[in-house]
Amino acid sequence: MTETPSEQLVVCLDNDGYDASLERRKIYIALVDQDADKHGILRVIDESGEDYLYPKASFGPITLPAA
């Protein structure tokens, strides 16, 4: 059985309106939140170290090889 990951890596593509909280081109951890996903937002651990909701369009997913 495969376990669903609870986190994913994303890169910030656009920080307009969130200059103090997000840095463009920086990699962040996004927590899986199905309710947020339904509304087009991501729960991201930002520069404060806390998780907040941001527009999903501001981030791109990162896929790393298993090795």
pTM score: 0.85
More confident residue, 22 or 2: 22
More confident residue, 3 or 43: 43
* Residue environment code for 28-54, b if the CB has 16+ CB neighbours within 10 A, otherwise e: bebeebeebeeeebbbbebeeeebeeb
Mean pLDDT taken over the chain:
91
Q: What is the pLDDT of residue 1?
A: 45
